[in-house]
Chain A
Amino acid sequence: MNPQYLPQQPQQQYGASAGQRFGPPPNAFPPMPHGGARPSPSGTPGGFQLSSGPPAPMGMHPVGLPGPQRMGPSVQGPQPFNSDLPPPSGPVSLGPGMSGAPTSGSHHPGFSGLNMMNGPAGPPSGPPGGPGSQPPPHTMPQQAPVMVPPPTSTPNQLATQLSGMNLSGQAPPPPSIQNSNYPVGPPTKPGLASVPPGAPGANYYHSPGSFPPAINGGPPPPTSSPGQPLQPPGQQQHGAPSRYMNGSMGPPPASGRGPMVGPPQPHMPTQHGIIPPQPGNMSAAHAHMPPPTGMPPSVGGMPQSGAMPPQHGGSSFQPFMQPGPPTGKLYHPSPDMYQPNAGAPPQMQQPSMGVQGPTPNYPPLHQPVGPQQTAHQGMQSQPARRLNPNDMPSPIQVMQDDQSNRSGVFCTNQKGLVPPLVTTNFITQDQGNASPRYIRSSMYNVPATIDIMKQAALPFGIIVSPLARTVGEEYVLPIVNMGEIGPVRCNRCKAYMCPYMQFIDGGRRFHCLFCKATTEVPAEYFQHLDHTGQRVDRFERPELILGSYEFVATKDYCRDNTFPKPPALIFLIDVSYNNIKNGMVRLLCSQMKEILKLLPKDEGAEKSNMRVGFITYNNTVHFYNVKGCLAQPQMMVVGDVQDMFMPLLEGFLCDPMESETVIDSLMEQIPAMFADTRETETILAPAIQAGLEALKASECAGKLLVFHSSLPIAEAPGKLSNRDDRKILGTEKEKAVLTPQVNVYNNLGQECVSAGCSVDLFVFNNSYFDLATIGQVSRLSGGEIYKYTYFQADLDGERLITDIKHDVIRPVAFDAVMRVRTSTGVRATDFYGHFFMSNTKDMELASIDCDKALAIEIKHDDKLTDEDGVYIQVALLYTSCGGQRRIRIINLSLKTCTEMADLYRNCELDTLINFFSKQAVFQLLESSPKAVKENLIKRCAQILATYRKYCSSPSSAGQLILPECMKLLPLYMNNILKSDAISGGSDMTIDDRSFIMQAVTIMDIPSSVVFFYPRLVPLHEIDVDSTELPTAIRCTSEKIRDDGVYLLENGIHMFLWIGLNAGMEWVQNVFGVLSAAQVNIERTSLPELDNPLSVRIRSVIDSIRQQRHRCMRLTLVRQRDKLEMVFKHFLIEDRGLDGSASYVDFLCHMHKEIRNLLS
């Protein structure tokens, strides 16, 4: 696959697809792009980055028009989105809007808004208001097209491409297209026709809006006859299209603008995208795909090429460029490619583009299309159309490419080697640097000067998951026991012995690469050097040859200088009315026996050494003595909640095997004892304090699993008041409810940390429980939060038990301290995650497990030298679940660079996104959400602009050029901005918001990748005989067909969307009912039917669940049901229901920003 893809894919696919279905479209495409280009040019002049750039070249495009058009459409688009139908009309106008002026106006507002996320609000208003500004957006789209070189091409090389926005053609850069084609292919085709445009675009928008029709529309498009599609989309749309067609330009704008305003924008861009032409260029980019020629040329991107090429050649490039002219040539070929690829999508867009562009150049194709598109999607779609989403860099494609190119064995033998993506299946072979599962850096070539850092605006961050699981044949970390002398360390900086230490003086001393100091080798550790100056025993000593390994700690590393006892697990169960009534207590108690069998044990140990204890509480705290020798358990009630203490010593913590019968009997008693409780006022802080005291009294570290029900309002420390006011979420005042209302839980959390007690909260709330306050105790103690709102044991029980089991069984470290040491010149300065810091260097983690990651920002102190590189050593001192004190060492070496290009070529986007998201969540609690978002956008623009400035050819400013390894940055950045964690508004509860924010704070990279770009998997055409997960498709409503069934998951939520026209047989096989309409969407699991399809679907769901560390609840969503809104919220490439920017919108905005920065 991979190889083929890269080079051929585009072509092949395109060709294939084109040939097959889209034959025509393809053709159309190419033209389209051109057309697009033209417009863009015009746009460029306008100053729109996108359009302008490209357009300029095109000349034809007189961007102006496009711009406006875009505007128009965009405007309309938006509206449609929002209101769906009404907008249609708008669209129409939009079409005209293309004309630009109006649109432009609208765009501006829209853009800014969109980009911002505020989008929703912004756009609408925007349109009217700031036409001026709008233009840019439009342009954006148009220009946008350019873009990322399709990863497909040899990974790096091609990268470039443009995703001509509108011009789908371009953007579609192979990858996306391909992807899309494959899965979506069909639909797209239709789309192509005109509908497509409309449809696709419309779908986007509509989908959110809830336009199933749009979807339908989609199908029709396949037909290819634009006309049809148009019709389906909606008459309104038609109207619109028509307008488009006609005066897409002039008239539309006026009318269009008004309506179109916000929403359309995105589309608009696309339309402008007409840029397609650019795409054309892009196509050139595509050419990249066809690596050989394409690449270079594209790169060359003409002017850019100069700079770029090298880069490309180096590895990945991407710049898009629209430089019309140059590209033109090169691209041409690509266009073809595209067509096929784009297949449907491109076409669609093209059409739209066509509209504009067509008029001039490609009239034929475009026009038809255009109209159709317009017609269909009406307003919205049209705009969208212009920039074909399929042309924009696609994460799916990127992942596939990486999978093809980099799967297999990854050797860590080089400094600064960029690892494969987290989504790629690879096996690490540790040859001196730690596995990327433990540590990843946002950059693997670190700029030597602060200056470069500042200009690039890229953060130097590392994401550390010190306990990450190994995969497949990867070895478990070797444990080095140095005996009495303990680990050998540098005398000055205290760095641990690692492969970076250089032995000198015949092996008597070693030189530390971190601090440059020289340290005597302890006599016990002395070893002769061989002729290469390396120790002869280095292959016998993991610490001399590996990137990660563990030391056995000596007493000096232990609390009170005594070796620790095995950690303990304490279950703290809220037995107030709520938890009894919802069945949680009974369920938990009934499953306890199973849960206790899963206690973790050290590698090689026969049985777990961990002990367990039980506490229940309502407005008092109840401890249980479960000593094995007792005839029955003893309950001890502590009513002194003001001043909690541990009432018993022996028998509270016990070995679950020895006390099995007593625990069994206790688990029978607990539900019985509280069966009649009417207690609704509960405490929390004292209960946690109780668990803490229990651990303290037993002198061991451990973890509390707290099963809590409601806001603690009983008279006790930690009593909270109800400040549930979700209206202020998303406003500047939201901090008031997202920060703790009292510091009791913070203090408690600190106490917990200092005692090595971590707190995992399982919450079963029916109402507000102030997670922002309560969660502090988990945050500071390295814990985690699980939330089961409206829990019902029969529905959610399995999920809960799965989560508990997972929480218990996973690899975990207790009572840990982590420090990051770096070589001189850089220094770890900022830390994000769940832990506590009492000084500026040590992260104290009462526990950390394999699912958690910490983000650490490293900053320059000084200029780095070229040859040295940057060395990072993460040391985690912890107590293993068997009670052994160990130090886990994770080493990573990075290169230094003085060229901007090197920097951009060696970045890790997933790490960057993970880092940005954690940082943003953190900042949200300190500054205003607006500032945080603006900062992200600014930073994103700065990163890309700097790249454009230094690494890509000086091609026209109107072209959007993205670095290959960060071509998804705009998408992901937009997704961060759109995510509930950052932007959650009043449509969610405060607790949900806090929950998500905390979840983001601890996310490791595999989780954040899917969290920020949900996985959408079509299930209706699944291969029953395969055992692999079906390939994911782009996360947009454009890809959704109403005769399909899709699974969407982001690690937190999982939806199964069922189209109303889903195949009867399929529905029958999986749900056991006759039609989609009869599916009971209340259920949270699929019925177990005895047929291959049912088995296969369930196994898909199971295997996806297994990849996530939280058991996701399966929510069934039937098309057009209320819940569909929620589902669509997660179609992240689309415009949000709240008006937040779509991928297209944002890309356009980015383009504008970049242009601003460059100008």
Chain B
Amino acid sequence: MTTYEEFIQQNEDRDGVRFTWNVWPSSRIDATRLVVPLGCLYQPLKERPDLPPIQYDPVPCTRNTCRAILNPLCQVDYRAKLWVCNFCLQRNPFPPQYVAISEQHQPAELMPMLSTIEYIITRAQCLPPVFLLVVDTCIDDEELGALKDSLQMSLSLLPPNALIGLITFGKMVQVHELGCEGCSKSYVFRGTKNLTAKQIQDMLGIGKFSAPQQQQPRGPGGQPLPPANRFLQPVNICDMNLTDLLGELQRDPWPVAQGKRSLRSTGVALSIAVGLLECTYPNTGARIMLFVGGPASQGPGQVVNDDLREPIRSHHDIHKDNAKYMKKAIKHYDALAIRAAVNGHAIDIYSCALDQTGLLEMKQCCNSTGGHMVMGDSFNSSLFKQTFQRVFARDQKGDLKMAFNGTLEVKTSRELKVSGAIGSCVSLNVKGPCVADTEIGMGSTCQWKFCTFNPNTTCALFFEVVNQHSAPIPQGGRGCIQMITQYQHSSGQRRIRVTTVARNWADASVNLHQIGAGFDQEAAAVLMARMVVYRAEIDDGPDVLRWVDRMLIRLCQKFGEYAKDDSNSFHLPDNFTLYPQFMYHLRRSQFLQVFNNSPDETSFYRHMLMREDLTQSLIMIQPILYSYNFNGPPEPVLLDTSSIQADRILLLDTFFQILIFHGETIAQWRALHYQDLPAHENFRQLLQAPVDDAQDILQTRFPMPRYIDTEQGGSQARFLLSKVNPSQTHNNMYAYGGAMPVPSAESGAPVLTDDVSLQVFMEHLRKLAVSSTA
């Protein structure tokens, strides 16, 4: 272990953990003075192809309040067959089956390299996942046709034993019964009426409330089939039937008058889906996959009325408190999200429409349950088609890359407590000895529910050092954190993944540099981004921005080296240098700036930030820009106006968009079709290179980014221009000796914006950081 960078990388690879601080201050007071809170990004399902699953149960600490799991950090007395819990110090005997252990013969969970380990609980019942399709039929025939194709295709991607069901909605909501011969059958609900779970179940004739049926149909195995089997059937059984059913889906037949929107009952449809699963498969992995082609325009969850003269709410309306349906709708969807989450059911929203569809209101359905939120323009776009296909991606073993109904539990050693989590999960409100008083994100609990998650899913966890300054920790002491994730594997197995990590303590008053050296600016940037976005969801813009600024300044003050009031003397340690830049881009990002974004887009962007891993999150915060030219291999270049050159092709990856930008000259050449001439083979190759690279990114990214091919002066170029640091603008392009408005070969292209450039931002930062009055 040479550098912190390597250490961090190694830890991430092994445990999927990135801490903001890799050396922990030993007292509460010191911890708070670090500005950036102690926390980590944790990927509970980080892909570990090398990790052998253990086919037996974990050994828990016998102390009831602890129940931590035996791990490599525990002290073991091989002779007495005892182990000491490293969280509560309880001495535990090994269970009988461990009688043969010795220093040479250790169980897997004691091996240091297996600080992350996965158990398969073999005695647990194996349940296939459930997929409930909820399909909007208020879309035009072309869209509906494309959607039907995608859905029919998806049937082949599901595990054969997975259960599937279908709900369609328009003015009414229909729950389709599967497996009917000769006459298709569906249960219809009014789209304007909010029904309780019990009512829904009564009307469907299912659920615990309905009287036990005397003659329950029996499955092949003689097992009684659940009453809901009419609505949810294994894919391999109802395959044909469902294909036909989907094939016959018609556009919602209710007439839509001129100047009106279709009446769309998204809220009720979702409510019925939740109710259906709630009583039939509680606490079982399930996904409700909602496909919407427009905003809910009636009933509970309505976000707009059916009069086209009234546009859907904008940020402006919200700001002015002029969005009359929003609060009620949010309340409706939030309640649904909680109900679904409590039962371990996830809600995906696939929203494809040119206008907004109410993702703002529905966002908690995805955010709380870990479901996907996908936003596209059309079901007929490759963006949707490929994204949807990618939902069913499989790993090397052929299992779907998705886990269900997971619970993440955090255990801490005594000096620490957990103060919260930010991610696509909900609090389970489980109090425990390691729950901190202070809250960051979803706190006051040591357990969170992840209804569905995949290898990329990343949760931000925050910790509080509770050790008092007066009780120093002995030299060499280490703080431990254990993350226990129980979940339903897509194969149906019940699994538990345990990650146990430890870090050294350091006394900040003495060894601040040590702590500073352990700073992980990338993790810190992402963590701060999550915190600020989490706040932004509640607070309004300016306050949040000010908070970001203040935190940045305080961090610089704390760790920068400078002479007071001399901004030129300001200097940050190497592992802090990128942090201000991240913050600069974060401030300008769509996460915090709503200008030019619809509320739906904002919700979508924020949703993605809350779940992606560190690398992807960083791309979102500060997009990556590659340059292609004849002078050499592709290289990353500054995200700056200066990178925009006439003879370059730029590839911009903002996570949400992949943009290929042809410089002016290149674009001209291309327009003249030089690439088609054999003599200009190299030009063709140059044009092709970024396209190939973009394809690589497109292949792996979820959701599929918007792919844009543009050129200097093209309208789509705005995506690039809005991201680059405006070092050249109409305000300064004359001032800096730029000879002319024409972007010279070397000076890049100006951007017409009033935003401050990074340079200005940094100047101010320095000034403020060194200011004795700040």
A residues within 8 Å of B by Cβ? 620, 623-624, 630-640, 643, 645, 647-651, 665-666, 668-669, 672-673, 676, 678
Contacts and interface: CB of A to CB of B under 8 A. Distances in A.
A615 to B, nearest CB: 12
B253 A665 contact: no
Interface string B188-220: 111001010001001111000000001100000
A636 B174 contact: yes
Contacts of A668: 182
Given A647-B174, A648-B253, A637 B187 contact: yes
B187 A636 contact: yes
Given A620-B203, A640-B203, A632 B182 contact: yes
A620 B185 contact: no
A668 B183 CA distance: 10
Given A643-B193, A647-B174, A650-B253, A638 B182 contact: no
Nearest 3 interchain pairs by C-beta: A639-B203, A647-B188, A637-B187
9 contacts: A620-B203, A633-B184, A636-B187, A637-B185, A647-B174, A649-B255, A669-B183, A676-B215, A678-B215
A639 B182 contact: no
A705 to B, nearest CB: 21
Interface residues of B, number: 26
A673 B188 contact: no
A640 B189 contact: yes
Contact of A666 (B183, B188, B205, B214): B183
Contacts of B214: 678
Residue in B177, B188, B190 with the greatest tally of chain A CB atoms within 10 Å = B188
A672 B182 contact: yes
A571 to B, nearest CB: 16
A729 B177 CA distance: 48
Contacts of A649: 253-255
A631 B248 CA distance: 9
A978 B656 CA distance: 88
B172 interface: yes
B187 A634 contact: no
A635 to B, nearest CB: 4
Contact of A648 (B172, B180, B185): B172
Given A634-B185, A648-B253, A639 B202 contact: yes
Contacts of A630: 248
A643 B172 CA distance: 13
B314 interface: no
B186 interface: yes
Interface string B250-272: 00011100000000000000000
A666 to B, nearest CB: 7
A643 B268 CA distance: 15
A672 B181 CA distance: 10
A622 to B, nearest CB: 8
Nearest to A637: B187
A623 B253 CA distance: 15
A832 to B, nearest CB: 39
B183 A665 contact: yes
A883 B498 CA distance: 75
Nearest to B213: A678
Interface in B138-193: 172, 174, 177, 180, 182-190, 193
Contacts of B180: 635
A643 B185 contact: no
Contacts of B253: 648-651
Residue in A624, A648, A665, A676 with the greatest tally of chain B CB atoms within 10 Å = A648
A7 B188 CA distance: 75
A635 B203 contact: no
B188 A637 contact: yes
B187 A639 contact: yes
Interface in B333-350: none
A716 to B, nearest CB: 11
Contacts of A634: 183-186, 248
A632 B205 contact: no
Contacts of A635: 180, 183-186
Contacts of A633: 183-184
Contacts of A632: 182-184
Given A639-B187, A640-B203, 9 more contacts: A632-B182, A632-B184, A633-B183, A635-B184, A636-B185, A636-B187, A639-B203, A647-B172, A669-B183
B188 A636 contact: yes
B141 to A, nearest CB: 14
A637 B248 CA distance: 18
Contacts of A672: 182
A634 B199 CA distance: 24
A1134 B248 CA distance: 68
Contact of A640 (B184, B190, B215): B190
A694 to B, nearest CB: 12
Contacts of B248: 630-631, 634
Nearest to B190: A645
A640 B195 contact: yes
Contacts of A665: 182-183
Nearest to B182: A669
A632 B186 CA distance: 13
B188 A638 contact: yes
A638 B204 CA distance: 9
A648 B173 CA distance: 10
A507 B185 CA distance: 66
B325 to A, nearest CB: 22
Contacts of A648: 172, 188, 253
Nearest to B252: A649
Nearest to A662: B183
Contacts of B184: 632-635
Contacts of B172: 645, 647-648
Interface string B204-243: 1100000000110000000000000000000000000000
Residue in B193, B195, B199, B253 with the greatest tally of chain A CB atoms within 10 Å = B253
Contacts of B199: 640
A227 B248 CA distance: 88
B774 to A, nearest CB: 63
Residue in B174, B180, B195, B203 with the greatest tally of chain A CB atoms within 10 Å = B203
B204 A639 contact: yes
Contacts of B190: 640, 643, 645
Contact of B186 (A631, A636, A650, A669): A636
Residue in B186, B189, B254 with the greatest tally of chain A CB atoms within 10 Å = B186
Nearest to B201: A639
Nearest to A697: B254
A637 B202 CA distance: 12
Contacts of B182: 632, 665, 668-669, 672
A676 B215 CA distance: 10
A649 B203 CA distance: 21
Nearest to A636: B188
A689 to B, nearest CB: 13
Nearest to B174: A636
Nearest to A670: B183
Contacts of B254: 649
B582 to A, nearest CB: 53
Residue in A639, A665, A672, A678 with the greatest tally of chain B CB atoms within 10 Å = A639
A884 to B, nearest CB: 25
A611 to B, nearest CB: 16
A667 to B, nearest CB: 11
A64 to B, nearest CB: 76
B231 to A, nearest CB: 11
Contacts of B205: 620, 639
B256 to A, nearest CB: 12
A77 to B, nearest CB: 60
Contacts of A676: 215
A632 B244 CA distance: 11
Contacts of B195: 640
B655 to A, nearest CB: 43
Contacts of B185: 634-637
A623 B188 contact: yes
B169 to A, nearest CB: 11
